[in-house]
Every structure is written in C-alpha cells, then in structure tokens.
Chains A and B, each alone.
Chain A
C-alpha cells in the first residue's frame, strides 16, 4: 500500500494567515491526489482533485499543487470557517489511502 505522510499534524493560525499543508507519498502517483476538509461531526468535503483542480463551489483561496510524490494544499487567507481537519487522499492505486490529517486551529 502507498504510505502517506501528511504534515504538520496540527497547526495554529489566525484569520488572514496563509497556510500550507504538505503530503508526501511513498511512491509516485502522477497527480492522482485529492484534498478533503472535515469539520467536527461532519463528513469530509472534497476541496481539490487531481492535485490542483478546484471542486465546484469551493472558494478560490484554496489551491493545490504537486505531482509525483510531493503535494501541497494552500489556503491563501484563512477564514473563520476554514478551521477544520484536512486530509489528503491518493487515488492512484488500491488500497486507496488517506494522510493522517492536519488540524488547523486557533
């Protein structure tokens, strides 16, 4: 199985901050990586697919980049509703595997 290393596991930030989360994979996965946001008690929500494609309806302050084994999710200006946990997911081969999550908090 492809191992996912997501970092940091948590970070403290303020409204307006630029936030970057990284995800490394144990083998190259082209650009078959997505990012999901999860708020407490809720299902994950798709933000980014294919490494850099913004899901319909997701604010443009979210962006993704990377290919191969290194990927980033960037929030350009953190908003109050962005405090949540973020997961990367490799969609390249089976079993599909998630990163460990990054909790973004005050």
Chain B
C-alpha cells in the first residue's frame, strides 16, 4: 500500500524559506508525477507543482519564481522549497502522487498534510 508522509517545520518566519519533504513508502517512485498542493485555512486547493521521476519539473506560474521541487530517488523522497514566504503562504501543504498515463490522470494517493504557519 503506497503511503506518503510530509515532514518539516510547522512555523517559518516571513521572508525565510519554507522546506518540506515527502517520504514515499510501499511503492516505486518511478513513472509518476510527484506533486505538492496547498490549502490555506478555510480555503480551496492550489496546485503548486510537480517533479517527474526523470527529474523534469513544472510549477504554477503564480509560484514559479519562488518554488523548487527536488527528488531523492535513493531515499524515495521529494522536497519543496518556497522562498521569501509571507503570511499568504500559511497553509496545509499536501504531497500527492499523480498518475498521468493516458487516458488516466488523477491524484490517487495523498499525504495527510502538514500545516505551515508563516509568522514572526
């Protein structure tokens, strides 16, 4: 059974860098798009970006200048770095596995989510 688990600091100061890691267990990291999604408290879901197992990345244009996703296949982990954070980046951050093999496109496995608060 595939499981994803986010980890990282729950509190980040304004202007600093948010860093999160997602550990994948119970399955291979190959052939999937490993994705970060966030949800501000009481609001909807926002796609941040993905890294493919080959290393290719793609980001939401709204965050592209500040976001970076990396992959460590030896540890079955992928990570998110978001620079120059503000209070608007306060959210629950989810990692998820995206299937993108025609004709199936979906997020079939999610982490439980981790709340990151940006505050001094």
Binding site for B on A (CB under 8 A): 1, 31-32, 34, 36, 42-46, 49-50, 53, 55, 87, 89, 91, 94-101
Binding site for A on B (CB under 8 A): 44-47, 58-62, 94, 96, 100, 103-108, 110-113
Q: Within the assembled complex, what's the spacing in Å between the Cα atoms of A99 and B60?
A: 16
Do residues A50 and B104 form an inter-chain contact, with CB atoms below 8 A? yes
The number of residue pairs between A and B whose CB atoms lie closer than 8 Å in the complex comes to 58
Main secondary structure of the interface of B (DSSP, over half): strand
Main secondary structure of the interface of A (DSSP, over half): loop
Do residues B105 and A32 form an inter-chain contact, with CB atoms below 8 A? yes
- The residue from A32, A49, A96 contacting B47, defined by CB atoms under 8 A apart: A96
Knowing A49-B105, A91-B106, A95-B61, say if A43 contacts B94 (CB, 8 Å).
yes
Do residues A98 and B108 form an inter-chain contact, with CB atoms below 8 A? no
**What are the 8 closest A-B residue pairs judged by CB atoms, nearest first?**
A49-B106, A91-B105, A43-B110, A96-B47, A95-B60, A98-B45, A34-B106, A101-B44
Contacts of B96 in A (CB 8 A): 43
